[in-house]
Structure 1
Amino acid sequence: MIRFENVGKRYGMGAEVLSDISFTLEPGSLHVLTGPSGAGKSTLLRLLYLDQRPTRGSVQMFGHDVTRLARRQLPAFRRRIGVVFQDFQLLDHMSALDNVALPLRIAGDLPEERIQGFVRELLSWVGLGDRLNAKPPTLSGGEQQRVAIARAVIGKPDLLLADEPTGNVDPSMAQRLTRLFVELNRLGTTTVIATHDLTLAESIGGARMQLAHGQLLAVGGGGGAPRVAGAPVPPQPADFGGF
């Protein structure tokens, strides 16, 4: 599904942030990306999201060499990718409900009544059922993070990328959100979660990708993701996002 071959990335004339990165992500696989601050985790996620192009090397995604795509072709690929950013990137002028509904409205496959039903259920499941009409500036960091996660998963993307997705929530909510990622992966979504939290990494399971000094030191280890013990079961695909 995704293949990096000898990928390097530098900004301007500086040293490479990523050097000779090679790996393959199989369809439906689950990976936990670890490494210290400055290792290049966020840059690697930006390359996966097609927000950045590599300085060198090849990136194959969904059957295409995306390094050769014209800019006008990128939006169609990005719609197949859900992203949870560290800085949330919510639209401040829109309510929580409208932020989460946006990917489904852009896709245009569902009537508004069904979209609102799916979004309300998912936001209730992440503990924001009473904050549907709140706008991001009035939400706490943890609440904004949950809105961002709901927006990323609502359309069941082919690829889900999450950058420190539980960094602003309490342990109970972190476990609940982790369950959401695990269950979405079980339904076929290829998932990459970047985290400093080794406890979270262990609870997720999956294969480990370790970055250090811009180089990928390890790929693999671990099998499929285990269920997260004691975490509430998230809404099933038929119940939100049309999957």
Structure 2
Amino acid sequence: MSNRFVKFENVGMRYGMGAEILQDISFVLEPGSFHFLTGASGAGKSSLLKLLYLAHRPSRGIVSMFGDDVTTAHRTALPRLRRRIGVVFQEYRLLDHLSAIENVAMPLRLAGGGDDHKIREHVEELLMWVGLKDRMHAKPPTLSGGEKQRVAIARAVIAKPDLLLADEPTGNVDPQMARRLMHLFAELNKLGTTTVVATHDLELVHEMGGPVMHLQDGQLSSRHLPERARGPVSATDPSRPNLSANLSSDLSS
């Protein structure tokens, strides 16, 4: 089996007995790479992300992740693989009975990531960075769409996953916050997290540059845009915490 980080080989996907939504999808995500996923509504972006975060298996072809062939893996092996993946869902999927800070802390608590004081300090710093200093103790039903999105993003990145998948992560925030969130993804990527961002925001894609996977009619094409703005977007903001130090800190120390 290939030792590539993530590899799709001639993958097809359909729901039930319907027509294939994804057709002959092949690509490799190298460790520590950053990719945009683009395409019109209905092109199959969310379906491809579902394969990547192991919510579905392909109808045909081979999907290899972290050295395992997930196409044939027993379902009991999938939770172990999913723990290495951070996901930003379009619909947020926050727990309504928990506060923002409790939602974001959950991946660290499930992973046994240090004592409560360190976890809380870590989560508070990240929530402050995404502009939610005054909303940390609010529960999802009282948050706006943009606030929920930022909580979901913080939850996805807090444990520094091996693979980050973000489905339209800037769709409900203003342009300034969108760039701040891309800064966060870029910082996490610099720490080694392989990152895939699905977006309709072609202006942001061209501003950032880099590899682009484009879906059209269920088929994938690739191109590489000049990385004109990757430096400025991910540059350190002296008014904010050092995310590299924050996200890479060993909470169990």
Q: TM-score range by the shorter chain?
A: over 0.9
Q: Which residue of 2 aligns with 1:222?
A: 225
Give the Å deviation of 1:78: 0.6
Q: Which residue of 1 aligns with 2:244?
A: 237
C-alpha contact (below 8 Å) 2:140/2:148 kept by paired residues: yes
Q: Which residue of 1 aligns with 2:179?
A: 175
Distance 1:13 1:100 in 2: 38
Percent identical among aligned pairs is 63
Candidates 110, 113, 127, aligned match of 1:109 = 113
Distance 1:234 1:109 in 2: 20
C-alpha contact (below 8 Å) 1:2/1:62 kept by paired residues: yes
Q: Which residue of 1 aligns with 2:46?
A: 42
Give the Å deviation of 1:13: 1.0
C-alpha contact (below 8 Å) 2:184/2:243 kept by paired residues: no
* Distance 1:166-1:231 versus aligned 2 partners, 3 A rule: farther
RMSD: 1.6
Unaligned runs of 5+ in 1: none
Distance 1:242 1:186 in 2: 14
2:96 counterpart of 1:89: no
C-alpha contact (below 8 Å) 2:191/2:248 kept by paired residues: no
Distance 2:101 2:205 in 1: 30
Distance 1:69 1:237 in 2: 34
TM-score (norm 1): 0.95
Unaligned runs of 5+ in 2: none
Distance 1:135 1:241 in 2: 27
TM-score (norm 2): 0.91
Q: Which residue of 2 aligns with 1:163?
A: 167
Give the Å deviation of 1:194: 0.4
Report runs of 4+ in structure 1 exceeding 6 Å deviation.
none
Counterpart secondary structure, 2:124: helix
Distance 1:207 1:150 in 2: 24
Deviates more, 1:66-75 or 1:226-235: 226-235
* Corresponding pairs, count: 242
Residues 163-210 of structure 1, C-alpha deviations (whole Å, 9 max, x = no match)? 000000011111110111111111111000000110111233220101
Counterpart secondary structure, 2:230: coil
Counterpart secondary structure, 1:160: strand
* Distance 1:105-1:61 versus aligned 2 partners, 3 A rule: same
